[in-house]
């Protein structure tokens, strides 16, 4: 292991090392304060990933610190840190104790970061499974709630099936081409029937992870059942990591067939996700369907297959991570104070809990794609890329479903602001939670209205 290897792997070492350390030390010094140790670890990992590495590739580790990988490493670390902060009080209130919570979150961040840095299919698979394994635990963490356990079981079953598809697909690809390298994977697979069949399986696995239709059915249940902060993490990390994975594979060229396989899932996700979300009466379930639709837009960007499309997908996954963090962060605060999960119980929250309600409303407007939020800019980039690539029918369907989607986001805003509040008292969030929510809210507006720096970054990273 050389110095360069160590340099490149450092964020991973920080995340995994601190996860293990928390598990070990937590056994001796139990308590909830491990949250802050975890936050420090994620901040350190993010800070390390900001620096430019002396060399991009660490061949002996099959890891690469490309600009895209570093961007996602920073995003995942910071998201994990933010989720740790918003979980703190929620866990106290909900009786989720034990340092394994913090350790598992760090472990998820480790898995996601590994995935975005991988250079072979094998490491990619390991990273993905490391992350998913963490989520199996986190989703079921709230042992006292029946829905949480049910969600955990569902996620485990679905995830195991997806993992099997992925592993089998990778095996077929290896059998067909004799190589596990990511960079040339698609070129190597072109014209090779066994390898292409393998890619079919891999795409099914990916569709599960991205919750693209028709592999989407687990999503609403998990979104509804998991603890709110975990849902934020799941939404930001698992989707972001899968997009990162596609961004490692697709731009390298090769056959267009594989990319075009995403055409129908993109279309169906936008239509089914948005229409099903219209029928929901529970906020979290609605957001679950909304995430299906949002990933449909990302798939639309990927289908267009131009650099503009890839950049748009990367931008949107960053934006989506922030929007989910804001939305579920606000939901964490709201639910912690005893509101149930149906819309009726949320009536008048805009007056009773103005701060979390305001952030939630902002996040919902962003998800609906109203300017000047990141959601709007992201959709603008996606539709520009799609039209440029000639995917005009898909773009038109996308924009019509986007118009439909506004209804269900508005329905929540209506509940928050246009009904009289119940008789519960106003609750004040703690300072660190407020800081996280304010930061995400500001980020939604800033990268929406001033996307130029992020776009320049992406232009350099995805040439």
CB atoms within 10 A of CB 93: 12
Determine the Cα–Cα distance for residues 110 and 113; give it in Å rounded to an integer.
5
305 φ/ψ angles, rounded to the nearest 5 degrees: 70, 15
Which CB sits closer to other proteins, 58 or 318? 318
Strand partners, 58: 63
Q: Among the candidate windows 51-59, 231-239, 324-332, 378-386, which touches other proteins by CB under 8 A?
A: 378-386
Q: How far is CA 377 from CA 129, 310, 313, 369, 449, in A?
A: 32, 15, 12, 8, 8
* 243 or 394: CB nearest other proteins: 394
Provide the CA 327 distance to its chain's centre, in angstroms: 13
Determine, following the binding rule CB under 8 A, whether residue 25 of this chain makes contact with other proteins: no
Q: Evaluate whether 331 touches 229 at the Cβ level (below 8 Å).
A: no
Specify the stretch interacting with other proteins by CB under 8 A; choose among 52-60, 66-74, 103-111, 383-391. 383-391
Residue 287 and residue 334 in contact, taking contact as beta carbons nearer than 8 Å:
no
Least distance between other proteins and beta carbon 417 (Å) = 6
Q: Which two tokens stand for residue 197?
A: 């069949």
Number of residues written out for the chain: 463
HSE at residue 263, side-chain half, CA atoms within 13 A, is 13
Q: Say whether residue 403 binds other proteins (CB under 8 A).
A: yes
CA 270 and chain centroid, separation: 17
**Span interacting with other proteins, options 65-73, 231-239, 396-404, 437-445, rule CB under 8 A:** 396-404
Q: Total binding residues for other proteins by CB under 8 A? A: 30
Q: Which is nearer to other proteins, 205 or 398 (CB)?
A: 398
- Assess 414 for contact with other proteins (CB under 8 A): yes
> Binding to other proteins by residue 267, rule CB under 8 A?
no
C-alpha to C-alpha distance for 298 and 288, rounded to whole angstroms: 16
Q: Which CB, 260 or 388, lies closer to other proteins?
A: 388
Q: Please, what's the b/e burial string for 334-353 (b: 16 or more CB within 10 A of its CB; e: otherwise)?
A: bbbbebebebebbbbbbebb
d(CA 259, CA 251): 10
Which of residues 116, 365, 394, 462 is near other proteins by CB under 8 A?
365
Minimum gap (Å) between residue 371 Cβ and other proteins: 4
- Interior angle at CA 421, CA 415 and CA 422, nearest 5: 120
Residue 118 and residue 305: Cα distance in Å, rounded?
A: 21
DSSP-assigned letters across all residues of 170-197 = HHHHHHHHS--BSTTHHHHHTT-HHHHH
What stretches of 326-387 adopt beta strand conformation (E)? none
For other proteins, the closer CB: 34 or 376: 376
**DSSP secondary-structure letter at 427?**
-
Compare residues 50 and 407 and give the one whose CB is closer to other proteins.
407
Binding other proteins by CB under 8 A: which of 268, 410, 439, 446?
A: 410
Beta strands in 176-273 (DSSP E): none
> Using CB under 8 A as the criterion, what x/- string covers residues 191-220 for binding other proteins?
------------------------------
Beta bridge partners of 342: 282
- Integer Cα distance of 64 and 127 in angstroms: 13
Q: Toward other proteins, which CB reaches closer, 55 or 404?
A: 404
- Return the number of the residue (167 or 406) whose C-beta is nearest other proteins: 406
**Quick one: which of 197, 370, 427, 445 contacts other proteins (CB under 8 A)?**
370
Q: Is 164 in the site for other proteins (CB under 8 A)?
A: no
The stretch near other proteins (CB under 8 A) out of 23-31, 58-66, 100-108, 367-375 is 367-375
Contact 405, 286 (CB under 8 A): no
Q: Verify binding: residue 301, other proteins, rule CB under 8 A.
A: no
The token duo for 167 is 């592993």
Window 432-461: contact mask with other proteins (x via CB under 8 A): ------------------xxx--xx--x--
In the complex, the smallest distance separating the C-beta of residue 343 from other proteins, rounded to whole angstroms, is 13
Binding of residue 388 to other proteins (CB under 8 A):
yes
Specify the residue, 25 or 414, whose C-beta has the smaller distance to other proteins.
414
Task: Give 143 or 396: the residue with its C-beta nearer to other proteins.
Answer: 396
Q: Which stretch binds other proteins (CB under 8 A): 55-63, 103-111, 165-173, 380-388?
A: 380-388
Distance CA 230, CA 140 (A): 10
From the list 197, 380, 421, 424, which residue makes contact with other proteins (rule: CB under 8 A)?
380
The residues of the shown chain that bind other proteins, judged by CB under 8 A, are: 351, 365, 370-372, 376, 380, 383-384, 387-388, 395-396, 399-400, 402-403, 406-407, 410-411, 414, 417-418, 450-452, 455-456, 459
């Amino acid at each position: 292991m050389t110095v360069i290897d160590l340099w490149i792997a450092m964020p991973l070492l920080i995340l995994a090392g601190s996860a293990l350390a928390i598990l070990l030390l937590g056994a001796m010094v139990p308590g909830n304060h491990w949250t802050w140790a975890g936050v420090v670890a994620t901040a350190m990992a993010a800070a390390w990933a900001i620096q430019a590495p002396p060399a991009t590739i660490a061949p002996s580790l099959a890891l690469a610190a490309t600009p895209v990988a570093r961007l996602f490493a920073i995003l995942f670390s910071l998201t994990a840190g933010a989720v740790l902060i918003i979980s703190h009080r929620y866990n106290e209130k909900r009786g989720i104790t034990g340092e394994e919570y913090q350790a598992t979150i760090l472990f998820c961040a480790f898995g996601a970061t590994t995935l975005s840095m991988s250079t072979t299919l094998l490491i990619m698979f390991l990273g993905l499974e490391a992350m998913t394994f963490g989520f199996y635990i986190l989703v079921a963490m709230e042992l006292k709630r029946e829905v949480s356990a049910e969600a955990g079981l569902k996620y485990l079953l679905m995830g195991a099936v997806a993992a099997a598809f992925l592993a089998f697909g990778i095996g077929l690809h290896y059998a067909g081409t004799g190589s596990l390298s990511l960079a040339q994977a698609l070129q190597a697979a072109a014209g090779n029937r066994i390898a292409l069949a393998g890619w079919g399986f891999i795409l099914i696995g990916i569709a599960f992870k991205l919750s693209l239709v028709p592999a989407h059915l687990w999503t609403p249940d998990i979104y509804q059942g998991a603890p709110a902060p975990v849902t934020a993490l799941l939404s930001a990390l698992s989707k972001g990591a899968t997009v990162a994975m596609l961004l490692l594979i697709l731009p390298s060229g090769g056959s267009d067939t594989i990319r075009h396989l995403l055409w129908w899932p993109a279309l169906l996700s936008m239509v089914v996700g948005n229409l099903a979300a219209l029928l929901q009466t529970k906020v979290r379930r609605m957001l679950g369907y909304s995430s299906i639709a949002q990933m449909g837009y990302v798939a639309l960007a990927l289908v267009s297959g131009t650099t503009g499309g890839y950049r748009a997908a990367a931008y949107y996954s960053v934006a989506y991570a922030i929007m989910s963090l804001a939305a579920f962060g606000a939901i964490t605060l709201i639910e912690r104070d005893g509101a149930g999960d149906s819309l009726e119980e949320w009536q008048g929250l805009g007056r009773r809990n103005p701060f979390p309600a305001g952030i939630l409303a902002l996040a919902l407007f962003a998800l609906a794609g109203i300017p000047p939020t990141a959601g709007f800019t992201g959709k603008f980039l996606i539709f520009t890329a799609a039209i440029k690539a000639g995917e005009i029918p898909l773009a038109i369907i996308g924009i019509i479903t986007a118009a439909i989607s506004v209804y269900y986001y508005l329905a929540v805003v209506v509940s928050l602001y246009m009904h009289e509040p119940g008789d519960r008292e106003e609750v004040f969030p703690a300072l660190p939670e407020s800081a996280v929510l304010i930061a995400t809210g500001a980020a939604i507006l800033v990268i929406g209205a001033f996307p130029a720096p992020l776009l320049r970054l992406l232009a350099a990273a995805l040439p």
